[in-house]
Amino acid sequence: MTAPTTAVESLVQRVVERNLVFVSPQIFPDRGPDASVRSSAVQYQYGMYDRSYGRYYCQENPLDSVYYRNYNYQCPVHARYLPQIPLKKYYTADGEYIYRLGERGSGFRSQTDVQDYYVLRNQCLESGSLFEDPEFPATSSSLMFSRRPDRHYEWLRPHEISEAPEFFVEGFSRFDVQQGELGDCWLLAACANLTQDQKMFLRVVPEDNSFEDEYAGIFHFRFWQYGRWVDVVIDDRLPTYRGELIYMRSSEKNEFWSALLEKAYAKLHGSYEALKGGTTCEAMEDFTGGVTEMYDLKDQTPPNLFQICEKGFQRNSMFACSIEPDPNVTEAETREGLIRGHAYSITKIQLADIVTPTQSGKIPLIRLRNPWGNEAEWNGAWSDQSAEWRFIPDEQKEELGLSFDNDGEFWMSYRDFCKYFDRIEICNLSPDSLSEEQANRGKLRWEMSTFEGEWAVGSTAGGCRNYLNTFWHNPQYVIHLEDPDEDDDEGKCTVIIALMQKNRRSRRNMGVDCLTIGFAVYRVTERDLAQKPLKMNFFKYNASVARSPSFINLREVSCRFKLPPGDYLIVPSTFEPNEEGEFLIRVFSECKNSMEENDDEVGVGDIDDRIAPDVPIPSQPSPQRQAMERLFLEVAGADGEVDWVELKRILDHSFRDDLPKSSSVNGLNKSYANQQNASNYDDGGGGGGGLLAQLCGLFCKDTPFAEAFGVNDGGAAGGGDQSANLQNQIVPVQRVDQSGDGFSKDVCRSMVAMLDVDQSGKLGFEEFQTLLTDISKWKAVFKLYDQDQTGRLSAFELREALNSAGYHLNNRILNGLVHRYGSRDGSIAFDDFIMCAVKIKTMIEIFRERDTEGTNMATFSMDEWVEKTLYS
């Protein structure tokens, strides 16, 4: 056996380094006897393990060699160059990771184990059984969610429908897609468009699907879902009635790729019924990962629409169109032969040469296709066999690929198209959708930027500009446009902004509908961007320069703009505040753009001047320090330390005005508590009477914290007689009522853990002293923002409150805090706010302890990380 050449070694090394799996390595060797391989002739794709071409072949000694097959030629690769290549991570030909449905990060939850097509197929082959999908069973629940079927449907496999089923019959084409009983013509129109591009088609419909080699009743398809590709596994049982397919089918009775594709798409969304009604844009995006636009041809037709379409075809865009439905008749036919409420695909746009007896020139023509694939076609000018075709030269007819079959495909003039159709949809493909061969033919690429985000109740779901006070809480994104379009006379940039809400169609069976969404665009300067994020005053005094056409409850809202080069702020939002959902925002431009989130950086800053410019911690012996230490020791007991139970008793009593009221106070004499409620607290919110106020009064007297605890020069906090009476105020406790009101166990334990360096579960006096400083600061912050003195903050105020305490957090962390500590009404109670502050301070200090060089990076071993996070 000849040793591998440098080209093969390089190929294997790259695959192993990237933890990838071979797919169709196309190795074209010299045909000499030594079967050597020229370096320049090695081409490969990295991605999914390919059953047909990436299969292992062993010869002589199985441990000595591995073969990769290229059609009729086998190229040997020595095993020592091929360490174990795991079949766990899959990639597209463009290097994008492919998630399996239900896999962590895929955006979907699996009811059973994550389904790996190759593992499941091999299991079926080994057991000699045909795959039955437990996640999409052959039952009525997979057909409909709103009602029961009106007749009995039988689920049959293709070999039970046809004697010789095939996945493809003579390849694939737009004529393989014919509509069944389901109202998903929008999906069929997108399928017809998909067949026009081989690379895109094979990315959705993998070539290793087959009814021949290694058939096990299992198939898989890949769809783009909100920024990632997802592999969907299905069995091949299809719903039939009297032996005929009831949904999508091919014109060839023994061809099944289109029916299986529709089933996989139905599984992705929960049922076949979930596919009823939609826009072609939605399906085209799921097949390509592109960004779509919709234009109203009656009221808002841009004057340069044909030029937009031409540019779209230069960039390999996909097109569809439709006519408004008749409210009284489903899919009514017009006198011109067009179907209302029906999605058509546009398969070609061209300026065609025309020669008449009086003049010559060019005429804009459009070719369309009805997914029904029958004689239901346009019967006006430029229809099949119409007289106008005699003015088109023969060579032009050949270039157009003209044919006059009853196949649902026809031509129209652009003028008639705008007259008779109501809407056109354009899917602009992402840069990675263009193949090298298409680029060499002159096809152009879009430049794309993308971000994922979330609207969280009380945090980042601020509503539209009508709600000025909360609008600025929405996520903000800055887009920088560098150069104008090459052919733009005004020096402007073409920009398409698309806002897509995630995972709504798949939850229709739970009554979830699309949110009403939109976005606004603002011109910003470097001075504006010094503030992250921009606050309410910016939006109060600056008007938007562009916005979405309307707020609407579609999966995606998009619009094309012409903007001068510069910096722009995009604010995506729901119409009403506190509407929760996830979204994806994308920006396409003809020239280069860059995009970033306009959000705060996580870190520690200065304390708000309104709270405390300085917090003196007495280090020298003083009467105040000695009195505080005496009080602490009396509370702590003989061990001189405070555990979480003793801390809870102190906090519950001292903050009883800030916590939910109860008929008793944990760990305290009830009559004493009632007495203190009557005498030590005033209704004006003086806030912190009681034991903790006395302790903090000694420590914080003559500092800005004193007011927060109701302590002043003439207050009782500094008197020694309170210390003497302390033992009369505390009742020995054998058991803590863990179900009562007050600070939770978690808060008290977290406070102890925050300062418990030796992990003893207790605080000494020095640690307790630091805790009092933090608590006094956090209470002062809470009081500042709890202006109506309800004992609760609006979750929208959490960012500002934490900023005042000296903590800067980004939207993702804030959303997590609101999810974790916020209530259903979008508010945060006092003890939850304290818990937030404790957690933030603890985690930041754990990180900074390891980030000794200030690089904003820290390293932890697994056991260190588990220890730190569990105890904190």
370 is catalytic: yes
Residues 169/252, Cβ–Cβ less than 8 Å: yes
- Distance CA(34)–CA(20), nearest Å, equals 29
β 97-100/228-235 pair status: parallel
Tracing tokens 């000018």 back to the chain, one arrives at 381
Helices 765-785 and 691-700 pack at an angle, to 10 degrees, of 100
Catalytic residue among 209, 370, 474, 598: 370
Tracing tokens 């039955």 back to the chain, one arrives at 132
78 is catalytic: no
Residue by residue, what is the 3-state secondary structure of 722-789? HHHHHHHHECCCCCCCCCCCCCCHHHHHHHHHHHCCCCCCEECHHHHHHHHHHHHHHHHHHHHHCCCC
- Distance CA(206)–CA(222), nearest Å, equals 8
Long-range contacts of 720-729 (CB under 8 A, 24+ apart): 720/627, 722/694, 723/627, 723/630, 723/631, 723/634, 723/694, 726/631, 726/634, 726/635, 726/691, 727/634, 729/668, 729/669, 729/672, 729/691
- Distance CA(280)–CA(368), nearest Å, equals 14
Closest CA to 276 of 181, 365, 197, 373: 181
CA angle centred on 720, ends 717 and 723, rounded to 5°: 85
Q: Which two tokens stand for residue 169?
A: 């019959």
Residue by residue, what is the 3-state secondary structure of 298-325? CCCCCCCHHHHHHHHHHCCCEEEEECCC
For 35-100, the DSSP string reads: ----GGGEEEEESSPPTTTS--B--SSTTTEEEEEETTEEEEEEGGG-----SS-EE-TTS-EEEE
Residues 627/720, Cβ–Cβ less than 8 Å: yes
Q: Which two tokens stand for residue 245?
A: 């397919």
CA–CA distances in Å: residue 828 to residues 458, 580, 801, 837:
9, 17, 11, 12
Q: Which two tokens stand for residue 861?
A: 């071993």
- Distance CA(400)–CA(387), nearest Å, equals 17
Catalytic residue among 185, 427, 700, 748: 185
Catalytic residue among 281, 316, 321, 342: 342
185 is catalytic: yes
Residue by residue, what is the 3-state secondary structure of 412-437? EEHHHHHHHCCEEEEEECCHHHCCHH
* 351, β-bridge pairs: 364
Residues 6+ apart with CB under 8 A from 766: none
β 493-501/556-563 pair status: antiparallel
Residues 6+ apart with CB under 8 A from 706: 697, 700, 712
Tracing tokens 């020595």 back to the chain, one arrives at 78
Residues 193/347, Cβ–Cβ less than 8 Å: yes
Residues 844/757, Cβ–Cβ less than 8 Å: no
- Distance CA(495)–CA(567), nearest Å, equals 13
Q: Which two tokens stand for residue 419?
A: 């007259």
For 664-704, the DSSP string reads: S-TTB-HHHHHHHHHHT--TT-----SHHHHHHHHHHTTST
* The amino acid at 775: I
* CA gyration radius, the chain: 34
Q: Is 305 exposed, middle or buried (0-12, 13-18, 19+ CB in 10 A)?
A: middle
- Distance CA(859)–CA(852), nearest Å, equals 11
Residues 532/601, Cβ–Cβ less than 8 Å: yes
Please give the positions annotated as active site.
Answer: 185, 342, 370
